Amino acid sequence: MKKIFAALLFSFALYSCDDGDISVTSFDLEDSDLSICEIDDKKVLWVVNNEDVYESMSLELDDNALNDSLTNVLTLNVEDTIEISLSGEKNRLVYRIYDAEINGRQYFCQGVPPGSPRVLEEYVSAGGTVTITTSFNDLGLNEDADADGDGIPNAEEGFDPNGGNHLDTDGDGIPDYLDIDDDNDNVPTASEITANPGEPTTEEGFLNTDGEDNLPNYLDPDDDNDAVLTRHEVEEENIQRAIDENDDGFLSPELTAEVDGLGNYLNKEIFSPSFEHELQLDHSIERDYRSVIVIRNFNLIRQDGSGEDIRFNSYNLGRLVANGILFKQLTNRQQELQDAEEENEEGTE
């Protein structure tokens, strides 16, 4: 007998027979924290429940919109909502009940599922549309939200939750909350915020080597106030090594120290050697993503030949969180240099 259920109902139970036993099919796996696997270029999102009823819901997707090289993230597209039609074996939602506890990773992340536990009931989707909305999961204003991982929360780095007026101290095109080097001195912000005992600090407690202003080192392009930019208090041979070895670690002014191991850039009395250059640190960082998956206008059909058909208007399957994903970014100057290099290469072809 066909039963129609509106997805706006927050819960329901369907009682059905299986070998003489009564099982409860609740489909109560909405709004779940999802896991992901990739099998044969198909992404599988899944959630299991091992309380009272041993059940799972899995969404299998094979679509070009999801073809990135990362297996632990669904998509990096934070600009547009992705829509995928549920059709056939490539894209489908599957609900199952088992006869014993299920290990989701073992079951869904292998090419061939294990023979145990045994599937008692199975429902497969017919029709419907999957919508995937992805956003950054590191943009909060709480004290733990630190998108660039430099030790300073977004809220203290001028993050604008409305997105229109982020602080960019050095004007390099990367806002401070995403910038690992807020003052463009080639000393990472994370290395410039903590003062050792006895060292001068700002009112907020950040390292302030020159002690002559309330500008912390991480925002000061001339940390010792000797009229030579910090980024230029380096040895030319180090800059050449950075170029030859493609290693921006050699750009660091911390490598140039003439007195007691103290970097020249922190010693007002030492302002030589001074080598001017335009090279900047690699500004790529790792970011956190959150994808919300909603499925609309679909049926779940029981696979025992009974023709049982359950209709959903909308089903919020849940969310997938992916942390520590490489986020490539270039400063304005780095972009200019890259564009010029690409033009030269095209001109020589």
Cα Rg, the chain, nearest whole Å:
28
SS3 of 104, please?
helix
Cβ–Cβ < 8 Å for 169, 182? yes
Q: How would you classify the pairing of strands 309-327 and 32-33?
A: parallel
Read off the DSSP letter of residue 193: S
Round to whole Å and give the CA distance between 289 and 312: 28
Which sequence spans correspond to the domains of the chain? Answer: 14-136+287-327
pLDDT of residue 68: 81
Of the candidates 280, 217, 230, the residue with the CA atom closest to the CA atom of residue 256: 230
Q: Cα–Cα distance between 27 and 53 in angstroms, integer? A: 10
Q: What is the pLDDT of residue 26?
A: 64
Provide the pairing of β-strand 42-49 with 35-39. antiparallel
What span, in angstroms and rounded, lies between the C-alpha atoms of 317 and 67? 21
pLDDT tens digits for the chain (349 residues)? 333 333 333 333 333 334 334 344 567 899 999 999 988 889 999 999 999 899 999 999 999 889 887 888 999 999 999 999 998 889 999 999 999 999 999 999 987 888 899 999 999 999 999 999 999 999 999 988 999 999 999 999 999 999 889 999 999 999 999 999 999 999 999 999 999 999 999 999 999 999 988 899 999 999 999 999 999 999 999 999 999 999 999 999 999 998 888 999 999 999 877 899 999 999 999 999 999 999 999 999 999 999 899 999 999 999 999 999 999 999 999 999 999 988 888 777 6
Q: Which of 218, 175, 216, 185 is nearest to 331 (CA)?
A: 175
In a 3-state reduction of DSSP, which class is residue 279?
coil
Please name the residue ranges forming H helices in the chain. Answer: 104-108, 236-244, 332-348
Cα atoms found within 13 Å of the Cα of residue 113, Cβ hemisphere only = 13
Q: What is the pLDDT of residue 113?
A: 83
